[in-house]
C-alpha cells in the first residue's frame, strides 16, 4: 500500500503558479525526498499534504485518507517537523513534549512515560527543565522532532530538517531518520542539499519551477547525466596538445590545461588508462577521477534556475 498518493496537484497564488500539476507516489516504509532549489514549491507541497493549505486542483491521499473529504484522518496519521522550529519558546523541553501528549490524550501515565522516553532518546534529559529559548539550534531541532514523534505517526513530513545545522547535528538528525525508517515509518523529506537526499532517500523527485523534472532512485537519477571521466591535468599547452592527439575521445580545455577522458573510475579502467598513458608517453602532472553525483543531475535538470545555490535566498 502506498503512504502518499498525489495526482495533478496544482496551487497558485493569484497569477503566480507555485505547483503546476504534481504527481507523487510514496511507498510505505520508505524515505521519499523532494529536492529543489529555493522557491521551487517544496514547502507549499508539504503544507498542502499536511492540511495547512488547500490545493487548487488535484487529488491527494495520505495514509489512505482523502485530503479533501477526511482531513482529520490525515492529521491522525501524520507528524510534521516544519522548516521553522515548531516548539513553544516559553515552555521547557519536557513541557513541550507533555503538551503534545496531553493534546493527543495519551493518558497521564502513558504520556509521562512517552515524554521521558523521548527526552532520553533525543539526549535532552539534562535540558528537560530548561525553557526552549535557551536551546541551541541542534537541540531545538531534536526537540522539534521528538514532539512530532509523541503520537507515533505512521508518516512523518520533514521540511528541510537540517537547514542551518552544524555537521554533527546534521548527522544526528540523519541517524534519527534512519532509525525511524527501520521501525517502519514513512518519511517525506524536502531538502535543498543533494548529499542529504543521496544519503537518506529511497526515491528522489526533483522539483523545479512547480513541476517535477525527474523522479527515481538516486542511482537512476545519476544515470540521467553523462557518465564519469578521468581528468588529466597538464602544465603546458604543448603537453596537452600531445595528449589530445592521442586521446581523441577526450574533451580538452585549453585554458585550464585539462583533458577529460571518459571512464567510470573503476580500478580496471584506471589500470588500462595508466598503461595507455605510459605507452603513449603522455605524462600528466595530475590525475583525478570524477564520478557523476547528484550535483551533476541537479545542475543539469535545474539549469534554468540561477537561485540554485543561494542558500539564504528568498523563497
Candidate list 86, 287, 299, 300; residue touching another protein; CB under 8 A: 86
Kindly state whether residue 72 participates in binding another protein, applying the rule CB under 8 A. yes
Kindly state whether residue 84 participates in binding another protein, applying the rule CB under 8 A. yes
Kindly state whether residue 293 participates in binding another protein, applying the rule CB under 8 A. no
Q: Interface with another protein by CB under 8 A: which range of 90-98, 160-168, 171-179, 307-315?
A: 90-98
Candidate list 8, 21, 66, 75; residue touching another protein; CB under 8 A: 75
Taking residues 140 to 159 in sequence order and writing x for each that binds another protein by CB under 8 A, - otherwise, the string is -------xx--x--------
Q: In what order do the strands lie in the sheet with 31-35?
A: 78-81, 155-159, 186-191, 31-35, 203-208, 211-216
Kindly state whether residue 50 participates in binding another protein, applying the rule CB under 8 A. yes
Contacts of 117 (CB under 8 A, 6+ apart): none
Q: For the chain, how many residues are written? A: 315
Smallest Cα–Cα separation from 273: which of 243, 300, 299, 296?
243
Contacts of 8 (CB under 8 A, 6+ apart): 21, 22, 23, 57, 58, 59
Distance of alpha carbon 313 from alpha carbon 78, whole angstroms: 29
Closest distance of CB 232 from another protein, Å = 51
Candidate list 9, 24, 87, 205; residue touching another protein; CB under 8 A: 87
Q: Interface with another protein by CB under 8 A: which range of 32-40, 91-99, 168-176, 296-304?
A: 91-99
Candidate list 88, 117, 264, 293; residue touching another protein; CB under 8 A: 88
For residues 127-145, one letter each, b for 16 or more C-beta atoms within 10 angstroms of the residue's C-beta and e for the rest, the string is bbeeebeebeebbbbbbbb
Candidate list 95, 117, 264, 293; residue touching another protein; CB under 8 A: 95
List the beta strands (DSSP E) in 143-222. 155-159, 186-191, 203-208, 211-216
C-beta separation of 85 from 198 below 8 A: no
- Contacting residues toward another protein, per CB under 8 A: 13-14, 44, 47, 50-54, 72, 75-76, 78-80, 82, 84-91, 95, 99-100, 102-105, 131, 147-148, 151
Amino acid at each position: 500500500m502506498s503512504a502518499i498518493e498525489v495526482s495533478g496537484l496544482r496551487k497558485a497564488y493569484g497569477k503566480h503558479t507555485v505547483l503546476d500539476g504534481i504527481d507523487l507516489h510514496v511507498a510505505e516504509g520508505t524515505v521519499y525526498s523532494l529536492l529543489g532549489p529555493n522557491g521551487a514549491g517544496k514547502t507549499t507541497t508539504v503544507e498542502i499534504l499536511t492540511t495547512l493549505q488547500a490545493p487548487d486542483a488535484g487529488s491527494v491521499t495520505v495514509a489512505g485518507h482523502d485530503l479533501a473529504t477526511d482531513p482529520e484522518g490525515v492529521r491522525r496519521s501524520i507528524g510534521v517537523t516544519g522548516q521553522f522550529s515548531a516548539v513553544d519558546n516559553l515552555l521547557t523541553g519536557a513541557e513541550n513534549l507533555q503538551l503534545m501528549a496531553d493534546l493527543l490524550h495519551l493518558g497521564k501515565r502513558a504520556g509521562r512515560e512517552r515524554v521521558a522516553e523521548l527526552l532520553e532518546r533525543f539526549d535532552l534529559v539534562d535540558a528537560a527543565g530548561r525553557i526552549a529559548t535557551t536551546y541551541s539550534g541542534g537541540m531545538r531541532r531534536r526537540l522539534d522532532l521528538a514532539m512530532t514523534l509523541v503520537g507515533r505517526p505512521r508518516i512523518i513530513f520533514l521540511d528541510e530538517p537540517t537547514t542551518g545545522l552544524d555537521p554533527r547535528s546534521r548527522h544526528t538528525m540523519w541517524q534519527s531518520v534512519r532509525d525511524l525508517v527501520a521501525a517502519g515509518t514513512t518519511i517525506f523529506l524536502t531538502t535543498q542539499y543533494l548529499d542529504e537526499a543521496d544519503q537518506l532517500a529511497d526515491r528522489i523527485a526533483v522539483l523545479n519551477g512547480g513541476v517535477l523534472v525527474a523522479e527515481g532512485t538516486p542511482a537512476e537519477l545519476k544515470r540521467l547525466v553523462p557518465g564519469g571521466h578521468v581528468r588529466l591535468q597538464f602544465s603546458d599547452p604543448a603537453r596537452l596538445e600531445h595528449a589530445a592527439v592521442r586521446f581523441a575521445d577526450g574533451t580538452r580545455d585549453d585554458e585550464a590545461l585539462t583533458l577529460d577522458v571518459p571512464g567510470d573510475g573503476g580500478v580496471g579502467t584506471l589500470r588500462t588508462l595508466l598503461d595507455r598513458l605510459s605507452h603513449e608517453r603522455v605524462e600528466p602532472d595530475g590525475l583525478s577521477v570524477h564520478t557523476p553525483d547528484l550535483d551533476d543531475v541537479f545542475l543539469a535538470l535545474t539549469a534554468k534556475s540561477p537561485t540554485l545555490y543561494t542558500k539564504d535566498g528568498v523563497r
